[in-house]
Chain A
Amino acid sequence: MSTSSQATNSSRAWLRFKRNRGALVGLVLVCVVALLALLAPALAPHPPDVPYKSRTLTSRGVPIGPERAFPLGADSLGRCELSRLLYGGRVSLAVALASTLLLAIVGTGIGIASGYFGGLTDTVLMRGVDVLLSFPFLLVCMAINKTVARPGIWVLFLVLGFLSWTGLARQVRARTMQVRSLEFVTAARALGATHSRVIFRHILPNVASLVIVLCTTLVAEMIIVESVLSYLGVGVVPPTSSWGSMLQESDPYMRSVPRLLAIPAMAITVTVVGFNLLGEGLRDALDPKS
């Protein structure tokens, strides 16, 4: 009855995680980035969208480099680069996390339904996945952005969430079929358990670790997709800024002020590496079989 034996599954996973140096690095990176984004209002030296032109642009309009008041210098419009980076991180992370949450719900639901019920349900859902996968992703994003009256973060969130669950659904389906064939599911059915009981008590807990692992790496993917879309001008639109839209704004200054491109690119890289390391660490810890 000791708590140690009750927590065995998770404590063993934590032991495996702790021994994995890459996983710990990933965890630290993700925590640091998340904290910086969360505390942006407190940490940012300036409001992110105020141009301090007289102080930050030279007479020929070139943004100044790092100095005391502007630790990362100014951007092309004379705004504080550090403040924009911190606030942009909020947007990038929020969009990535929210769309991952959405795709996790949709993908897990459809994957479990498909794998558990099989037959016609499975055929219909999986052909739906095939159709969705055949959509050219960028084109769909652009089309939606052009047709929606007020494009913005929420469009991006919905588009990412509803178009990216297919891979997750396929993997969850495969794992569900595997779990369903195990005898404890037959035992539950022999006891007269309803489908919803079998799904929520037995299937879901046994696919949860797979979903957590996949979603961690999907957050990284969503950050990249968000920045690509914003860079192409179909993602986050001004005045909101994200790391991707910072890249887009700095594009004309690639040669003259490369720092403006390098800073958000570094932020994206660090975050993506962090989430990927964390995801791999979680895979080794939670899902050692795969």
Chain B
Amino acid sequence: MGYARAATVSDLPLVRIENLSTHFSASRGPFRPPGVVRAVDGVSLEVFAGETLGLVGESGCGKSTLGRSLLRLIEPTSGKIFFEGQDITKLSQRELRPLRRKMQIVFQDPFSSLDPRMTVRDTVAEALEIHGLAHGRVALDERVAALFAKVGLRPDQMNRYPHEFSGGQRQRVGIARALAVEPKFIVADEPISALDVSIQAQIVNLLKDLQEELGLAYLFIAHDLKVVEYLSHRVAVMYLGRVVELALARDLYDHPSHPYTRALLSAVPVPDPEHKRERQVLEGDVPSPLNPPSGCAFHPRCPIVQKGLCDVSAPPLVALRARPTHQVACFKAEDPASAATQPVAAP
């Protein structure tokens, strides 16, 4: 994959997943056999060093499950995960431990992500202790203080408990914990969705600064397309456990090619009262992942559905002829008629 990326990006993917699936069995009452929820269904992605891959989709589309599966926090059902070229799919948790230093996660909920019974100092110090990165009280205190300074917290607050901090500050503690082990890759699982709008920008900028400083790669999970656009080099759009579109961030926003992406983009508010545009409202609800539609999972809600094609077979994720870096899972992606329905992308 030799397309343009950020300057710091190397050619070998840091993380690569191949055909990854994570299925859950779901009880459907006492007298029916359990159903299978295909939370993640055959996803292949690559994340390069120093890159941010945005992952967007409605809630329940499997984006968080994907993030946790590729860290082996949820066991995937099938497929392969490579980290720095090493297949980690079958490693035991013990064998994974040294690799955990290199891949970390930041959570959505700044309340449940910190242990209420631990001082934030102990929370961050635990990461250092587990990997033996600092020994003794003084050394640990020093490292924690440095991490606090790095994420914009006052080191003199480190002996406080989580409930004494605001949501944004707690999120900074969570980031400090992830950074403590000096990772190369961080899954950011909707890290700003639970924060006040005024705080969101601070955390996004912190993540961006840290990426520049430390060369981190992010899998940035979000349902807010604006944030993803600002932060991501490439963006993947997920619908019902599958990636339906994957492109460089600018291409995705300027030329959305999957009807689902177009609908998502048309829902992004534009702060301009003069701005006239066509809102493309999606009909119906997200189908139950227990009983997904036949063919393309999006076809019951799709404005350009073609009967006899879209409801019969599922379109593969393939590159567009015009832009090889732009992959879309839609039979009608290259159809000029469908492109005409494209709304004007938000600036």
Contact = CB atoms under 8 A, between A and B. Distances in A.
B116 A206 contact: yes
Interface string A182-193: 111011111111
Contacts of B107: 183, 186-187
Contacts of B104: 190-191
A193 B112 contact: no
B115 A184 contact: yes
Given A1-B156, A9-B161, A197-B130, A184 B100 contact: no
Given A9-B117, A182-B113, A190-B105, 12 more contacts: A8-B164, A182-B112, A183-B108, A184-B114, A186-B107, A189-B73, A190-B71, A191-B100, A192-B98, A192-B100, A201-B118, A205-B118
Interface string A264-277: 00000000000000
Given A183-B113, A191-B130, A193-B130, A6 B159 contact: yes
> What 3 A-B pairs come out closest when comparing CB atoms?
A192-B100, A192-B97, A183-B113
B96 interface: yes
Contacts of A201: 115, 118, 126
B120 to A, nearest CB: 11
Contacts, number: 74
19 contacts: A1-B159, A5-B159, A5-B160, A5-B164, A6-B159, A8-B163, A9-B161, A182-B113, A183-B107, A186-B107, A187-B113, A190-B71, A190-B100, A190-B103, A191-B104, A191-B181, A201-B126, A202-B118, A206-B115
Nearest to B110: A183
Interface in A174-215: 182-184, 186-193, 197, 201-202, 205-206
A40 to B, nearest CB: 38
Interface of A: 1, 5-6, 8-9, 182-184, 186-193, 197, 201-202, 205-206
Interface string B145-188: 00000000000100111011000000000100100010000000
A190 B116 contact: no
Nearest to A184: B115
A74 B174 CA distance: 68
B144 to A, nearest CB: 12
Contact of A6 (B96, B112, B119): B119
Contacts of B127: 191
Contacts of B279: none
B109 interface: yes
Contacts of B68: 186
Nearest to B108: A183
B156 A183 contact: no
Interface in B75-98: 96-98
Given A1-B159, A5-B160, A191-B181, A186 B105 contact: yes
B263 to A, nearest CB: 30
Contact of B73 (A9, A182, A186, A206): A186
Contacts of B28: none
Given A193-B126, A193-B130, A206-B115, A187 B174 contact: yes
B126 A188 contact: yes
B250 interface: no
A135 B294 CA distance: 54
